[in-house]
A = this chain, B = another copy of it.
Amino acid sequence: MRVLKYAILGLLNRHTMTGYDLAKDFNYELAEFWHAKHSQIYTELKKLYEEGLVTYDIEISGEILEKKQYSITEAGKEDLLRWLHKDELIGKTAKDVFRVRMYFSNFLDVESRIKLLESQKMQHTKRRNTLMKTSEQYSEVPDVSSDRFGDFIILESAIMREQGLIDWIDKCIGYCKNAL
């Protein structure tokens, strides 16, 4: 399925960047729904270059440091567009370790469960707040054809996801507290 391939092509379709820049982007907005380590990115870039989907220019930074400025080729753009058009079926849903834990949580005493739930709630609340802070920079919905539109909807999605999770955790805490 090679999602990383298309994530890289998508980012390079926004503007040229180095492998290092890509790795940073995978820790920014996009990180809410995809991430990758630099080791995987450099490997994938090499492959994409061999496939003719990306190309690069070597730029000298300072005296000797070589930076590879990658950009997407026409073939890459076509491939990306084909992928974006595909209407795939939703498959198995995403894996979530904490919910697996909660699935088996009746094996835990109620007090421990509440402690775990409270800890998760705190963490997700913090993340939600950070995301909401970021979203304040949008005074209105960006133009649908701009890159910022992608940033904006993914940010909204992440906020909603975190809020939904917090709501569910609250419910669980309620159930557990009723049993005390």
Contact = CB atoms under 8 A, between A and B. Distances in A.
Interface in A23-55: 29-35
Interface residues of A, number: 75
30 contacts: A3-B100, A7-B100, A10-B103, A10-B107, A13-B107, A29-B103, A30-B103, A31-B92, A32-B99, A33-B95, A83-B101, A87-B119, A90-B98, A93-B158, A94-B94, A94-B96, A99-B154, A103-B150, A103-B154, A105-B149, A105-B150, A106-B149, A113-B144, A143-B179, A144-B175, A149-B175, A153-B168, A153-B172, A160-B167, A160-B168
Interface of A: 1, 3, 6-7, 10, 13, 29-35, 80-81, 83-85, 87-90, 92-108, 110, 112-113, 115-116, 119-120, 123-124, 127, 141, 143-147, 149-151, 153-154, 156-158, 160-161, 163-164, 167-168, 171-172, 175-176, 178-179
